[in-house]
Structure formats: C-alpha cells, structure tokens
Amino acid sequence: MSIAIFLSQILNGLQYGLLLFLIASGLTLIFGVLGVINLAHGSLFMIGAYVAFLVVKASGSLWLALPACVVVGLALGALLERFLFRYFYNREHLDQVLLTFALILIFEELRSLLVGNDFHSVPVPAALDFSVPITAGFSYAAYRLVVIGVCLALAAALFWWIERTKMGAIVRAAAEKPEMVDVLGIDARRVHMTVFAVGAALALAAGGLAAPLTSVYPNMGDGLLIVSFVVVVIGGFGSVSGAFWAALLVGLIDTLGKAYGSAFSGAAAGGLGAALPAMSIYMVMILVLVLRPSGLFGGRS
Amino acid sequence: MIGRNRLLPQTSAGWAALAAGAVALALLPLFAPAYYVGLVTTAMIAAMLALSLHLLVGGAGLVSLGHGAFYGLAAYTVFLMSPEGAPRPIWQTLPAAMLVAGLAALVVGALSLRTKGFFFLMVTLACGQMIFAIFHDTRLGGGADGAYLAKPLLSIFGFTLDPLSLPRAERGWPVYYVALVQLTATYLALALLLRSLFGSVLEGIRVNESRMEAMGFNTGRYKLAAFVIAGVLAGAAGHMWSLYSGFVNPEVVGWRQSAEALLMILLGGIGALVGAVVGAFAFVALGEIAQMITSRQLLVEGLAILAAVVLLRDGFMGLKPPWRGARSPRGGGRESALR
C-alpha cells in the first residue's frame, strides 16, 4: 500500500469517472430536455467501442477511430431521434422503457451479426505505448493520461456549448421549463434532435476511448448503464455540471473501493465483504435520494 | 362500491374465459409433447413473477425495476437451504423462500417508498443491484457462475412424489401442475386483494395519492403493504424457478429479470391483471418462435417488442375483436391534446 499505488488508483478513479461523465452527461441531457429514459445508452457506448475496433483494424490508427465514433454517434443519434424517439415524448415513461429495452436487444443482435461474439483487444497506439514517470518510483501509462486529457477536453467543449452558445442556452431553458421554449416559438424538434445526437456522440466517444483499456466484448455497456444512471441521480436530473462532479465521485469511490475495500472489511476475497465495493455507490445514491432528493449537486428542489 | 376493480374481468363471461384458460392449461400435458410441457412451465413461472409485479404497477401505479431481486433471493434461499445432494421438502422451502423475499421487500420498500416516480424506479433498481452484487461478488451463492441446488422434494403430509418414478414422458408433469396450482392461487389471491378495501385504496393512490391522504388514509402503509405482498409472491415464483431448473446464478437477481417482468406486463396490457399472464406467455412464445426461425433470436424479439410498443398502445388485452368496435368505454378516443 505505498503512496505510488495510491496515486495510481486515484488516477484510475479519475479516468473511470471522466469516462462515466461522457456517458452520464448524454443521459442526463436526454432525460432533462427530452424527458426520455434511455436504457439503450449503454449500447451506444458498446457501439462506440466496436466502431473503434473496426476502424483500428481497417486503418491501424486510433486517431481516426475517435472522430469516426463522434461522427457515427451524431448520425445514429439524429436518426434514432427522428424516426423513433420523436414519437415517444408524450408517451408514458413505461413505454420508453419498453422501447429502449427493445433497442438494447436489437443493437446486441446486430453487433453479433456484423462483428460476432468474440472478445477483441484494441492495441494502444504505438506512440503512446509507454509509461510516464511521475515520481521517482512511480510511472503511469501514457494512454491513460491521454484518455483523461481527451475526456477533459470533451467535457470543456460540452460546457462551452451549453454555457456560451445560443443553442446551449436553449437547451438549458428546455431542461428547466420546456413549455417556455415552445411558447417562445423555438423549433423544439431541432433542439431535441441536436441534444439526442450530442448525447449519443458522447457515449460513442467514451466507448472508443475505453476500447484499448478494457478490450471490446458483447454487453460491455450493460454495467456502465446502471452506474451512469447512479451518476445522473446523484448529480441531479438534467444537470451537466452535477453529472461531472457526481461522475468523479462515483469513479473514485468505485475504484478505491475495489482497490482497498477488502483491506477495510478485513474479509478474504469471496467473503461477504467482497460485495461492499460494488454496493457502495448504490448506498451513496440511496443516501443522496433519501436525504436530498434533488441530487447532491442539483440546485432545484 | 367495493367488490370491483378495473384490473379484473367486469363480466361473468370474462371470468368464464379465465376459467377456460386454466382448464386448457390443466389438460395440455395430455396432448402436448414433454418439451412443450417444460416450456409452458417456464411461461407460468414468468407469469407468476409478472403478476406479482402487476400488483404494484397496475394496482398502485408503482413502477419498480428491482422486483427480480425478490424472485432471485427466493431461488437463492432454496440453494442455501439445500445445497446439491441434500434436498428438503417443499413445505419447508416454499415458506422460507417467501419469508426471505418478504423481509427483503420490507427493507427495500421502507427505503424506496420515501421517493416517487422515476426516483422510486432508481432506488428499487439500486437495491436490486446491491442484492445482485452480494451473489455476484461473494462466494455465498456459488459466485458469478451460479450453482446447482437440490430441487425441493414434492412431499406433503408424509407422502413424497418422486418425478423419476414416472414414465419418462411424464416426468415434467408434477412440476407443471405445481406451477399451475401456484399460478392460479397467485391470480385468485391478487383478485381477492384487489376487490377488497385494500385494492380500492391502492387504486385511489394510483389515481391521486394526495386526495387519499386528505381522506385520512395512511398511504405510505398501504404502499408498503402492497410492496411486501408483491415481494412475497415474487418469492413464491422464484421458489418455483428453483424447483423447475435446479440451478441458480446471479442473472436471476439482475435488473434484466426485473425489466423483462415489466415488459411482460406492458406486452400483455397494463389495464388488466391477466395481462401479466398473457404477456408472459407471449414473451416466452416469442422467444421460442424466434429461435425456430432464426438463430438471431434477440433481433426478432427486439423488433417484435418494438412493433408492439409502436402499434399496440394497450398491449394484447387492449386489442378488441372487430365486432366490438373500437370505441373505448369512456366514449372518448385519445386523450385531448391538452396535457
């Protein structure tokens, strides 16, 4: 339990948290602006990883794969909104759950049809396949640092878009008071389509970034979907900045819990304490919901 | 007036149709090959789980995404009571499984019912995932790979029926009939409950909870009671699953189990209790048909669900025979554009 290991776990937690933010920010925007519970958001993450895998296989370059993920994500998001979700805004949440559950099945099977069910690994780009010495006895994989950097850049771009552009102002307004946006004569359909496309693109980008770290496999978005919902709830619905801090919190709790949890609970692997790390983030969420229902970082009550 | 509930058949013809369905199920093993007897058994188990959830969804308007946890917990209770090679009689395992599921539902309900709507969905989901983590991450119940268990013995009043003593083609029958009895009992218990004052209060809560509060009902207690009853019944279904399959793995506790139960209710029709049963049978049949025509089972299932959610707004039970006309009892078509 040296300080170097602790530092690397902190960095791992940050990197996991930032990837979570890319997924959760789309989820929270789509829920906040469109009022849709998108269970298929984890599948979008998986699609991103597979797009990265295919592009890297064809071209050998991860630098091409990331823009490809963003472009595919924007297109896929816009298409899904235009031809499916648009007809579900006034339906009950239950219908949306059903619709997005069906999409999970369809995406899984299409993935199996097109790419198969094998595990694939995506190589880290050769230029980044080294470790950066941070202190005397401790170095950290360069690619992971790049992931942290790219995530931060994407997060900054997202915040800039939301806080500084006219479209962003409309999106914020739509998350707060959708009726007002309608009344002001703004074309809500364009706002909806943009938000869905951006949300999908962020999820695909997260998948593309994660591909070299986790390898690419079926159902890889399933666990992340639930954790992202936890992030959305802790951060407060529709709040992108809330999602940011909540994602970092959840990422750190999860990573540190898995690294040090067994030491605290004093149980050997496989004992009852082994479930504690996985349970901790849910406990945090329930605490937040019971004590502060609008979310830890949500301003509105 | 107490005695009616919108989820139950409104005419005696409706009850007769239900009875006819039960009789048809009772006669099925006489005509169907053993494989289909097993398949219908799984459909009946799924129907029990969906029925128990429907008490919350249709009865009280509480949409839970953690209901599979009580089902799975009951199956794991059977495993913990009777590890491989040491079976116990069903009159011990069934009450124990229902008790464990009910206690878990009491804790989860006390916590989750402090929230409403989407937050309720999230808290139930989180509680379910915590129970999933216990079985997935620890060696308590065989770990992530699951484990075989000794199926409970079908014994009552000292008399034990061993399915292996039957001819090969009839070995699935005992479990089939236990499932049928349990499914019928679940439906009738829920029907009685919905027709009582308790059911009327739940219906009131679904429509307008604050009005029920203003009328002096302690709505929190009613909701918690409904949650625990639903949990106990889900436990009975989970026990049935262990009896049928003899195997448990963390998937039985996972959130997909809960989502599928919800899916069955919506597929069958949220406006009728029997919709849960219809939906469960449709779901199982859909999977089977998809498997027959293609190896791409999920694709067919996904597309069928998609078609159902786009086209059938009230599930299969919302389909009207053409001679009835399309008019709804309230006279209006769609709700007005004003929301």
Mutate to test the interface with A, among B129, B134, B334 (most CBs of A within 10 A): B129
CB atoms within 10 A of CB B163: 13
Tell me how far apart the alpha carbons of residues B29 and B269 are, in angstroms, rounded to a whole number.
27
Determine whether the interchain pair A102/B259 forms a contact, defined as Cβ–Cβ distance below 8 Å: no
pLDDT at A264 over 70: no
pLDDT at B338 over 50: no
Least confident residue range of A5-9, A40-44, B211-215: A5-9
Average pLDDT for chain A? 85
Q: Is the pLDDT of residue B187 over 50?
A: yes
- What is residue A92's predicted lDDT score, i.e. its pLDDT? 76
Q: Where are the domains of chain A?
A: 3-218
Q: What is the ipTM of this complex?
A: 0.77
Asked if the Cβ–Cβ distance from A226 to B63 is below 8 Å, we say: no
Is a pLDDT exceeding 60 seen at residue B237?
A: yes
Q: Which residues face A240 on adjacent strands?
A: none
CA distance A213 to A196: 26
Q: What is the pTM of this model?
A: 0.84
End-to-end distance of chain A based on CA atoms, in angstroms?
A: 42
Span between the terminal Cα atoms of chain B, in Å: 30
| Best to test chain B binding among A36, A94, A258 (most B CBs inside 10 Å) | A94
Shortest CA distance to A244 belongs to which of A69, A29, A8? A29
Which segment of B42-46, B166-170, B324-328 scores lowest on mean pLDDT? B324-328
Pull the structure tokens for residue A36. Answer: 């849709």
Residue A117 has pLDDT above 70, yes or no: yes
Burial (Cβ within 10 Å: 0-12, 13-18, ≥19) of residue B314: middle
Q: Are A193 and A207 in contact (CB under 8 A)?
A: no
CA distance A183 to A7: 52
| DSSP-assigned letter for residue A84 | T
**CB distance A37–B133 less than 8 Å?**
no
